[in-house]
Chains A and B, each alone.
Chain A
Amino acid sequence: MTNTIIWTVAILTCLGLLLSLVLFWVASKFKVEEDPRIDEIEKTLPGANCGGCGFAGCRAFADAAVKAGNLDKNYCPVGGSEVMNKVAAILGCEVKESAPMVAVVRCNGSCANRPKINDYQGAESCKVKAALYGGDTGCLFGCLGCGDCVAACAFGALSMNPETGLPVVDESKCTACGKCVAACPKRIIELRAKGPRGMRVFVSCTNKDKGPVARKACSAACIGCGLCEKTCTHGAITVADNVAYIDFAKCKLCRECEAVCPTGAIHGVGFPKPLDKEAVKKRIADRKARAAEAAKAAVQPEVKKEESNG
């Protein structure tokens, strides 16, 4: 009995040692030489493997960055500039500064603004719902409310507000990876610059129907009237397909568009004070009056000249 145990232990120990030698030999013989910087960069990255950078995961990002030798085409939206500076230090190159972005839900079709015209009973998925029919409200472009974006978010930054039936972005958690943008079949969510101190202005509607149709479906819809486009002195707003769009690179956050929008489709967020619509409207009126006077003054001398000639 004791003999058997001793023999078993001895044989297994020898076998183990022998195989470990084989494994050691194989490991050294077939070793893949890899740039140690890849591991280093991977450790620096957040490790969420979200794919927000456009690569399959953090390791693929690190691999591509080391192969390229620079960071021109690589940016980790989750880590932001802090992480990117560390990565740049490892690679010994410059990093392009990029403005921090955030996901913005461009629909304000809450239950109050956008009445339901039927009840949906199919699978709880925006993708399925969008393929089946025009939706349970009169708006063909708005949020479907089944929460595909919430399910797609790996950071818990999105949640459905039961009162409005719309998704809400938690800015502190949003990493602008773009997963929700891809998940939304109506393409409502957009990545926009966070803006200075979180202040930004955007059009919270994507309805391409003509004004009356859009307004009938939702009281907060952009009707494409173009008032904002005319008011904007920075050329940041364009109206195409009956819906306005604010270019965040050009927007100077004057909030004049927000004040003149007749349906309240333009939203300003992150501002310290609520918008005083009347004051802003007065400011616009004053500016227009001054411009008209200036135009008059510019025209009058010519008229006089003509008279003197005559």
Chain B
Amino acid sequence: MAKLTFSIGGIHPADKKLAKDCKIETLPLPPKVYVSMFQHLGAMAKPVVTVGDSVKAGQIIAEPGGFISAYIHSPVSGKVTAIGPRKDLAGFNQMHIEIEVQGDEWAEGIDLSPELVTAIPEDRDFILDRIKMNGVVGLGGATFPTHVKLNPPPGKTADCLILNGAECEPFLTSDFRILLERTDEIVVGAAIMQKVLGGCPCVIGIEENKPEAIEAVRASVNRLGYPGIRVATLRKRYPQGGEKQLIDAVMHRQVRSGGLPIDVGAVVQNVATSLAVYEAVQKNKPLVTNTLTVTGDVIDPARQHNYLFRIGMPLSYIAEYAGGVPEGTVKIVSGGPMMGKAIANLDAATVKGSSSILYLGSSTLRHAATPCISCGRCADACPMGLEPFLLKRLYDAQDIEALEKNAAQDCIECGCCQYSCPAYVPLLDNIRMAKAQVMGVIRARNAKK
């Protein structure tokens, strides 16, 4: 079958999947965990425990602060020792619940056995309730609450569920490892989401550089025999895993500016989310664990790891366990090298969406910016069809009206423009600000209506 891909823009950064042969290891528990109240998109969660409370792993410790928000569960058993502000990985103060670890006791009703449960519950509301109560959020990076995404507004139906196994970011291998090691669970998770969405077909998209994963998932789909699930091979190209790019590649439909994927009948979920959905629905296990890659270009191959971590573990604890910060590191990034954030504070706690600790060497340092030479490479690279050089100029001139006309709000912040700029202009830094300004104007206008 032909390899699928999106129609415009994109770049081809070096693959560097250095940790792809490292099996997922389970991290031992640290003495203390710090659970952030802000680990999903939307409103901050509200703590429901107080200092001194004893909690078990999997017990609810915070409830949603709004419609778009999520439950948060204790990742460990122990005692709540503090609730207050703590610095997150960007250095901003966020509300955290500090829990001192005592033993490893799980709350009742959670099935921790490894047996695969293939029978899918009939009741749609039961499934959605399980997903909501177990705090499942999208693990592809945006951490959007899954129960909201799986429940399209009335009048809109899903024509296709796309499972995102592209993992187009260089270095990251956590999705690849779970596709290999937890294949059946991911496929069952996909079948559950199909059920919720009314039995629409499901396409599991995997990039061509992961042939083992494609083979494994195909075999699993055939073995488990759920109807309407197929595997699509995607061309290796960044940002293939972007929601809109994936819809374009698989369904050949384009999401209109300002629209949502559901407008064209698409629901996109990450494979890690599918695994979380499986655990939430079939095992009643809350989202308190995720997989994270420790890798980088300055770390020797023996020290690369894929870890199963509990949320709330400090990044510094994981880094220490993996052998400390390697020599030659100039930058530590959480997330992929393209879209990830440089970590300003390694003591920050992991959150539901943490996907990597990336040690990068001096070759990744930024070059000093020189004037734009109007070569147009950024416009060629933009997968959203924007003109980054123009947006930067308009932002410098503070022409918000023109920025909106030129669709600055459609930027997906993939960084292709900045990656391809020969003059090293900090395009994305400025466009991100422009996008925020335009979104503010649009929100104010909608509020007036």
Contacts and interface: CB of A to CB of B under 8 A. Distances in A.
A133 B429 contact: no
Interface string A110-136: 000000011001110101100111111
Nearest to B332: A118
Question: Contact residue range for chain A?
Answer: 10 to 19
Contacts of A118: 342, 344
Interface in A120-154: 121-123, 125, 127-128, 131-136, 140
Interface residues of B, number: 18
A134 B90 contact: yes
Nearest to A129: B429
Interface in B321-373: 341-342, 344-345, 365-366, 369
Given A133-B92, A134-B91, A134-B92, A117 B433 contact: no
Given A140-B91, A140-B92, A140-B93, A133 B344 contact: yes
B430 A128 contact: yes
Contacts of B91: 133-135, 140
Nearest to B364: A121
Contacts of A132: 90, 341, 429
Contacts, number: 46
Given A117-B344, A134-B345, A122 B90 contact: no
Contact of A122 (B87, B345, B426): B426
B92 A122 contact: no
Contact of A131 (B345, B366, B432): B432
A123 B436 contact: no
A125 to B, nearest CB: 8
A125 B395 CA distance: 12
B87 A134 contact: yes
Interface string B89-129: 01111000000000000000000000000000000000000
Interface in B415-446: 426, 429-430, 432-433, 436
Nearest to B93: A140
Interface of A: 117-118, 121-123, 125, 127-128, 131-136, 140
Interface of B: 87, 90-93, 341-342, 344-345, 365-366, 369, 426, 429-430, 432-433, 436
14 contacts: A117-B345, A122-B429, A123-B429, A123-B430, A125-B433, A127-B433, A131-B433, A131-B436, A133-B91, A133-B341, A134-B87, A134-B92, A134-B344, A135-B91
